Structure formats: structure tokens, C-alpha cells
Amino acid sequence: MNQALKTALVGLGKVTDMHARALENLKESHFTAVCSRSKEKSEVFASRYGIQAYTDVAEMVEKEKIDVVLICTPHPNHRESTIAALEAGAHVLIEKPLASSLEDCDAMIEASRRCERQIGVICQRRWYLPAMRVKEAIDAGKIGKPVFGTVHMLGWRDKAYYESDPWRGTWKGEGGGVLVNQAPHQLDMIQWFMGEIEECYGVWSNLNHPYIEVEDTANAILKFKNGAVANIIVSNSQKPGIFGKVHVHGENGASLGVQTDGGAMFVAGMSAILEPPVNDLWTVPGEEQMLEEWVKEDSQFFNKLPRQMDYFHERNIEDFLQAVQEGRPPLITGEEGRVTVEIFTAIYRSTRDEKPVKWPLKPENSHDYDGRI
């Protein structure tokens, strides 16, 4: 049996307790330390979990001999903490998105390779049973080649949400709006299902949140290297509730779909999920009648979980810890995490330049937050 890895957290935001519970529960983890810029907050949090408190990432990793660090800081701060942990000798798992800029992504990936340590990304919706079912069906060739995909992520964020943290709704503090914060799960899922991207044309806007700098809505068309296309519609301007769906249509006419979110808007650490994730579309020949049973089974499984989102975060973290133990890549690598950042960066640049953006994307040395303003 593999020895438990010494684990630590960096950042004390709303998602931290969720990650702490996972690191405390998983047999692969020996939860050891926490790091925050605030000494007082770090010590209070550490006392709750019986762990050590630090204000310096490198010092924490070196003194406690930490194997894996989990980053829960605001997006623009991922780079600094990640590289510090890697250079001190730890593997690093990062809350989505990998970063808010391609420059930061590339610096983190380069440091991972140079230090011969793994980095991975938290995108726990990949572990939803209906999402796994879609991926397995595509990989098994049940719809032939994926030829058309759609992403819908329509929801609402109010003024109180943006005022809950000083960095929210700002280009400098958050790196973007709905594309960077709420949509990465669905953006990750569509590229996971459909394959390598070739081109993107997109537009973004702020429809009804005049008190924030960033976008609350974006539309885009993706073109894939295999000739497939996908439409993306994401918004924080639709009230009430939430509507999140990812659908894939195949060359044989069959279609697959997963409703990733439904009911009320989910805010990590503040609210629960009201509707279970389910397959809402399934026309694979010979399997059409399975949909009703899968919805029933998946709903029952989800509704019995005492802390629903905790469970899927645990699976994501568990995979990363096992990957480190086994010397294999995690399900979501740093390179895959970069693809999501490429997608939302392409939408920002496409809006700025009023033309499609080709892959691969390289960082820009610009003064407009890489096309955002």
C-alpha cells in the first residue's frame, strides 16, 4: 500500500473548507499545513484542523516536507504560489481555472517540467456520473466522430455576490467574469468531449451588471481540428436560478447530453446544489430507453450524498494524489487546464480584434489584460 502523502492548502477563501475536508478524509492524504498571507487567519484555520500555520509557501513545503499543495487563492495569484511550491519540491493541484492568463499558465507548466513535479486542475464536474457516461460513449465510438457541440451556462450573480470579496468583478483581481469564474467547468468539458481546437470566434459583453468591470455574458463558436464545431453561450445575467448543459452530436446522428447544473446558483462554501447532474439527452441506437433509468439512478445517488460537491471534489483530489503516488498524469493535467484558458482568452481577443483567433494561442505582452479591455 502506498504511504499517505503530506498535503497542505494555500489560500483561505470560500472553497478552502471543502478542500480541507477532502484532504482530511482521503486515505492518500496526511493533511499537514495551511498557508495564508494573513498570519491570524492561518492560525485560526490551522487550529480547527489540528495542522500547522504558515504565511510563506516555500517555508511551509520545506519545513513540513509537503508532498502535495492545493492552491485556493484568487486566479491571478495562482502563478506565484504554484511556482513557489514546485520549486520547494511539492506537486501542486490548482482550483480552476489553472490561471487567468496564458503567461501565467506557461510559467507554471514550465516550472512543473523543470522541477519534475506534477500540476493538475480542479474541475470536479468531470467526475459526475452522467459526464463520465458521455465521455465513455464518445470514446467507445457510439456516436461516430463528434461533429457538433453546444454549451449553455445561464445563471445569475447579484451585487451581493460581487461584494462578497474585494477581488470579484475586477480585471486585476479576478482576471475576468463569467468566462473565468463560472464557465470553466463547461469549457473544460466541451474540449474534453470534442477534441483539439483549431479556431474561435467570440464576443463578450456586460448586459446588466454596471457595478463590475468584467463581462457577464459571452457567445462563441469553436472550430475543431477534426472539422467539428461547437457553440458556447454563457451568462451571469439570467435570473433566477441556473441552467447548465453540454451536448454533443455525432456523425451517425446520435446525440449525448449532460445537465451539469440546475436549480439555484451554486456558490462554493455558501450554498448547496438543488438539482442533481443528469443525462438530459441520449439517442445512441439501442440505448434510447436507458435515459429514464440513468436519470433515476444518478439522481438517487446524488441526493443521498451528505455533502454533494464535497464528494466530487474528493474524487478530483483523490485522482491527483493517486497520480503522484503512481507516477502517472492526473485526469486533468496542467496542459489540459491551459486549453480552458486558451478558450476564454480567444473570446476576449476575438472581441477586441473583431476576427477569429487561431490555435495555438501564445501569451501577449499587451497592456489590455490580453485583450480584455
Which pLDDT tens digit goes with each residue over 140-175?
999 999 999 999 999 999 999 999 989 999 999 999
* pLDDT of the residue at 268: 52
Q: Are 174 and 199 in contact (CB under 8 A)?
A: no
Residue 289 pLDDT greater than 60, yes or no: yes
How confident is residue 270, by pLDDT bands cut at 50, 70 and 90?
Answer: very low
Q: Both 245 and 291 in a single domain?
A: yes
Q: Both 134 and 116 in a single domain?
A: no
Residue 266 pLDDT greater than 60, yes or no: no
Q: Both 69 and 140 in a single domain?
A: no
Q: Both 250 and 149 in a single domain?
A: yes
Q: What percent of the chain has pLDDT over 70?
A: 97
Whether 174 is covered by a domain: the verdict is yes
Whether 192 is covered by a domain: the verdict is yes
298 phi, psi to nearest 5 deg:
-65, -40
Mean pLDDT of the chain: 95
Residue 105 pLDDT greater than 80, yes or no: yes
Q: Both 291 and 148 in a single domain?
A: yes
Q: What angle do CA 98, 99, 105 make, to 5 degrees?
A: 85
Q: Are 33 and 57 in contact (CB under 8 A)?
A: no
Domain range for 130 is: 126-306
pLDDT, average across residues 55-70: 98
Distance in angstroms (rounded) separating the CA atoms of residues 342 and 348: 10
Residue 135 pLDDT greater than 70, yes or no: yes
Q: Both 111 and 224 in a single domain?
A: no
* SS3 of the chain: CCCCEEEEEECCCCCHHHHHHHHHHCCCEEEEEEECCCHHHHHHHHHHHCCEEECCHHHHHHHHCCCEEEECCCHHHHHHHHHHHHHHCCEEEEECCCCCCHHHHHHHHHHHHHHCCCEEEECHHHHCHHHHHHHHHHHCCCCCCEEEEEEEEECECCHHHHHCCCCCCCHHHHCCCCCCCCCHHHHHHHHHHHCCEEEEEEEEECCCCCCCCCCCEEEEEEEECCCCEEEEEEECECCCCEEEEEEEEECCCCEEEEEEEEECCCCCCCCCCCCCCEEEEECCCCCCCHHHHHHHHHHHHHHHCCCHHHHHHHHHHHHHHHHHHHCCCCCCEHHHHHHHHHHHHHHHHHHHHCCCEECCCCCCCCCCCCCCC
* pLDDT of the residue at 365: 78
Whether 323 is covered by a domain: the verdict is no
List the CATH number of the domain containing 90: 3.40.50.720
Whether 112 is covered by a domain: the verdict is yes
* pLDDT of the residue at 274: 72
List the CATH number of the domain containing 255: 3.30.360.10
Number of domains the chain contains:
2
pLDDT, average across residues 87-100: 98
Residue 367 pLDDT greater than 80, yes or no: no
Q: Both 164 and 194 in a single domain?
A: yes
Q: Are 22 and 307 in contact (CB under 8 A)?
A: no
Q: Are 318 and 93 in contact (CB under 8 A)?
A: no
